[in-house]
Chains A and B, each alone.
Chain A
Amino acid sequence: MARHHKTGGDAVDHNRRAVLAGTVKGACTVGLIGALLAIPARRRAEAVALRPPGAVAEKDFLAACVRCGLCVKDCPYDTLKLSDLGDGPTLGTPFFNARKVPCEMCEHIPCVAACPTGALDKGLKDIKNAKMGVAVLVGQETCLNFLGLRCDVCYRVCPRIGEAITLELSHNARTAKHAFFIPTVHSAKCTGCGKCERACVLDEAAIKVLPHALATGQLGKHYRLGWEEKKSAGGSLVEPSPEVQVRGMEGVEMTPGGTYKLEKRPDGGFKEFKP
């Protein structure tokens, strides 16, 4: 102050300065609270965002990913982005929006090669084994094929055409003379690249790539599929049922499947049945 004023003006100047300083402090506090509140307030629920190929399970991903963006930089199609406020995924982590730019499934998987932390698993050698998500035909009331047309675009653009998406025929009862060609996703083959979602001709895609858990559901861990168990064991795992005597069928031979060999009589009854 002494630089700008003579001593007489010092008191007035000091007052003005104190008022100014107080105003700035108040404004800073208001601004600070505003900025801090704006951070969570800008969060917007977005249904899903997909992780790059090879991403480890979400829980482990957040322990491993340092948000460096090296995968983003090495993505030749600008598919990947780092999340910012409102994008959905944890701040700074890589994701992609299949409807905007799907994964082109590069043969050499540059995003995985670029990852320094192990958040993208280098064990993924064949992009066909990627599990970024699973396509689900959610719009069963809007999908043109479900309406009986032959759009087929999702099926046509699928990098694993005929494997990850097949067209399943069924009878169109409405016209009684046409067929439905229902696009059907096979989760074991679908990589979640999102080309189907990108290509869907509707205003809002009828087929969407969802994270695995959302898309496929999860059987209870104690569930066993009898037919699978039987196949892997090479035979039935349960004892065959004991023969049950049916009144009137005494002495009639049973098949190994547990049914009677019966011969129909002209009057509609069974030859072997003796009431």
Chain B
Amino acid sequence: MSAARAAHPGIDNPGASAVAAKGWLAANKWLLARRLSQALVVAVFLTGPLWGVWIAKGNLASSLTLGVLPLTDPLMVLQALAAGHVMTAAALIGAAIVLAAYLVVGGRMYCSWVCPVNAVTDLAHWLRTRLGIEKGLSLNRRTRLWVLGGVLAASAVTGAIAWELVNPVTMLHRGLVTGSILTFGSASLITLAVFLFDLGVAQRGWCTHLCPVGAFYGLLGRAAVLRVAAVNRAACDDCMDCFAVCPERHVIAPALRGADKGVGPVIMSHDCTNCGRCIDVCSKTVFRFDTRFHNVPSDAPPSKAGVKAA
């Protein structure tokens, strides 16, 4: 173990070399932007109840912004449909807007930029690394697709929107925007459960393996335009920092290591959450946000002989 750590100090403290190379701010740029975005998604709902300035009403299930913009979770509409209810115009328009937006920016951008549970599971993962807890319960990341199927089946059988009895995403967001998180209620209990599950039971257990909301948005992201690309992959020195921080680490290798196989530099997996953490922690500036259209091998400058060997 010590030997492995000595070879790859990044695994113990990913991002250290990026901080040294680029400075702390540049090495945490996207993480900070993401936390800000997640905080804003809560804050816009809180200005009304706290100060009487209404920006958004409702919660992540369905909301109305500035009195004109309806947004509805399309998975909710789908569950209602399975349960036998066709929603009224406001919800359908809201769901269409959400669908259109995530088709462009990448479905799982919801997970890393909007969903409040992300901050909880990221904290659990950070603590888990700090405490040196090994991987734990092994789950297949496709489990979430089965959970998603089960959610729709349960809605169809019971005639009720089934996932809302469990959904930590809406429960936590509801708890944050109504203040009920401060009580010993569903929001705090389910959040605690997810946190403890990710900390002590399964590494990145919830978001990466089980959450059907993430699975649904992942399916939406198959054709997404906005992507992370390893444009400068020739400069990669195999420090493994990006793998250490990535919540979906299987998405990186094809793009980062695909030069010899003629694979383009864009991360095309719909599991990628566009969190941008790999961009942050790379001291060689290998990654950047790009579009799916720049995915021919020639979009990444050719490998310089000797870089890998060094």
B136 within 8 A of A: yes
Chain B contacts with A in 179-228, Cβ cutoff 8 A: 180, 183-187, 189-190, 192-193, 196-197, 199-201
Known pairs A21-B132, A63-B160; A28 contacts B2 (CB<8 A): no
Known pairs A63-B160, A85-B186, A116-B87; A70 contacts B200 (CB<8 A): no
A132 within 8 A of B: no
A237 within 8 A of B: no
Chain A contacts with B in 89-106, Cβ cutoff 8 A: 90-92
Chain A contacts with B in 6-44, Cβ cutoff 8 A: 7, 10, 14, 17-18, 20-21, 24-29, 31-32, 35-36, 38-39, 42
Judged by DSSP, the binding face of A is helix
Interface centre among A10, A92, A122 (most CB of B within 10 A): A92
Tell whether, in the assembled complex, residue B88 and residue A117 are in contact, meaning their CB atoms are under 8 Å apart: yes
Tell whether, in the assembled complex, residue A28 and residue B197 are in contact, meaning their CB atoms are under 8 Å apart: yes
How many chain B residues have a CB neighbour from A under 8 Å? 61
A68 within 8 A of B: yes
- Choose one: A14, A60, A84, A91; the contact of B165 (CB below 8 Å): A91
State A29–B184 Cα separation when bound (angstroms).
19
Tell whether, in the assembled complex, residue A28 and residue B199 are in contact, meaning their CB atoms are under 8 Å apart: yes
Tell whether, in the assembled complex, residue B58 and residue A68 are in contact, meaning their CB atoms are under 8 Å apart: yes
Residues of B within 8 A of A (CB): 1-2, 5-6, 9, 12-13, 48, 57-59, 61-64, 70, 72-73, 76, 80, 83-88, 90-91, 94, 131-134, 136, 155, 158-161, 164-165, 170-171, 174, 177-178, 180, 183-187, 189-190, 192-193, 196-197, 199-201
- Apart from A63-B80, A63-B83, 20 more pairs, CB < 8 Å: A1-B5, A24-B131, A25-B136, A29-B196, A29-B200, A29-B201, A35-B190, A42-B184, A60-B84, A62-B83, A63-B159, A66-B62, A66-B72, A66-B161, A68-B59, A70-B63, A82-B180, A85-B189, A117-B88, A118-B86
Residues of A within 8 A of B (CB): 1-3, 7, 10, 14, 17-18, 20-21, 24-29, 31-32, 35-36, 38-39, 42, 59-60, 62-70, 73-74, 82, 84-86, 90-92, 114-118, 122
